[in-house]
Structure 1
Amino acid sequence: MMREILLERNFPFNQLRLFASARSAGKVVKCGDKDIVVEDAATADFNGLDIVFFSAGGSTSKALAPKVAAAGAVVIDNSSAWRDDLDVPLVVAEVNQHTLKSIPKGIVANPNCTTMAAMPVLKPLHMAAGLKRLTVSTYQAVSGGGVEGCQVLESQIQAVSDNCGELARHPENVSLPEAKKWAVPIAYNVVPLNYVYVEDGFTEEEIKLRNESRRILEIPELPVVGTCVRVPVFSGHSLSINAEFENEISVQKALELLGAAEGVAVVDIPNPLDATGKDPVFVGRVRKDPTVEHGLALFLSNDNLRKGAALNAVQIAEVLLSGKY
């Protein structure tokens, strides 16, 4: 996806090099009209590179990102490895690109794909009314779990596709596929346990949502509670958000702000099918939350592989190249 977006946006590179583990080294990958030989990241010479995108997991980023930065490149990392490091800017291009003024370690972190979807929507509302509290439920696509996540969903759908009617009426008579990757089967189901518990019954994904929202919006003590749920959707994350504000903000004002916000599209019914393959965060169902004094409820969807990951990384690189900071 990063390669596709670099080409789509006519990113001005003179040379593109590709790196992977030793088992992929030597493979030829097409990028546009060029065939590029993949290099072994463990033994490669990184001198002479300006920007290096990492999307190979936290352990790889921890091991190699400092080495690449020391060779003179700016690393834009898509893993969770550096997001809690206060010397590493955590950036959503439309929201807090000003933090690129200082990159002490030569590394910039891309936020979690779930957090990323909410930030362009919440920022203008926060600037207008002062965000006070967030309650979020997510509906996350399996592609957020990589290629394996998609393969698990596909195989489980195939395993029970001939018994869908019986599954609806008498699930006890259907032999469901064994749970894989997640705690329970994902096909025809939802999984309200995204990986592992890390803090007071909250999962890693839910803690990322809290911590990263605070950093990106620059509200260090913002109360955030999330329930992150994996759903049987291949692509496109969605979030149901209840936001409480310090000051009054009407639905009409919120829609005006969101309609003018960079990277945001206001629609009647945001949904992952419509969001897939597109760049904006789609937001709708905006209404008053009557349970608090100044509150809004809203729903949003975006492509977790584009804005949720690859697109934002490329946008960060575009900001760096612009010389703005």
Structure 2
Amino acid sequence: KVQLEDMYGTQFGRKSVIESFDNIVEYHMSRTGGRELLSDKMASLVESISLQIKSYGRDFKFNVHGCDEECERELELEIEEEEEMEKEIPSVKPRDETDWEFSEVFNVDDPTSLPAIVGVSTLRKFLIKYVSPRSLANIDWSEHIVCTKNFVKSIVGNDVSLNSYLRVINGAVYFPNRMWLLVSDYELNEILREFWQRDSRDEAKCHQLLHINCVRCSLDEGTEMLLRCMPTYIAGSRRMSAYEIINNNTMASLQLFAGESMYATEERKKALKAVLRGKSGFDLCPKKAALELIDMRGMERLFPWSDLEALVEQLLCEVLKEID
């Protein structure tokens, strides 16, 4: 005999975000065989998500009810349609990249000594010239980051703001003087070819071609990177820790410029606060600057309840206390 309550979901109630998360984890663990079947990396990821939920979700409760899966999916679709935002960007002509002698990277220990055709500039000069608002240049960007003209200029026209046309940060060349040269994907492929062709005796110069995400993971987890910079895998491979080649200030600058909102370690968060304080003597609103950078990368939805939001709020409180 079918009861009336069987035809409806359970009653409405209130549940905390943390409680809901714990229930979800318990359900999926029982469904998939438990935590003991998870790899170390996956278990670490679950733990990281759990810590994040408990950090930012402790003060939140929401109404829950027992609708069935079909009803729940329809509700999700309605919410997705409401939240979907279309951003119109003017059509522009892509700029043809300039070829240069890519093997030149091995002939200098400082990227600023590369030929003029490469067009190396600091991150601050790039932002002053091509990005608005100009106040973003007042962020205390790491002095160890420079970029090529091909990385900077992605479209034709000198009077067009590059806010919506920034290149994604993928690879970079590390130089013996601890400088990082950001390059376009085209340059990345050409320089990679030069790395594979160079003689193993050149390794002593310590030039490295690295993917920024690999460097960040190594720095976050304290693990070593396996470098493959020679024609033969065995002879040319060696391990290196990211701590040997990059500090938290430089990595925080790279992550901020890339529009990232989460920062894995306390040292990185401390470095980010120092970066967002801005250069001495320049006016800068940390929260406005952070929002501008996030918006440029189309990541504004990731700002609420993120490490970046928490850090800029802390920084604003500190600045106000200093003024008082």
> TM-score range, shorter-chain basis?
under 0.3
Q: TM-score, normalised by structure 2?
A: 0.25
> Greater share of helix residues, 1 or 2?
2
Bigger Rg over Cα: 2
TM-score (norm 1): 0.25
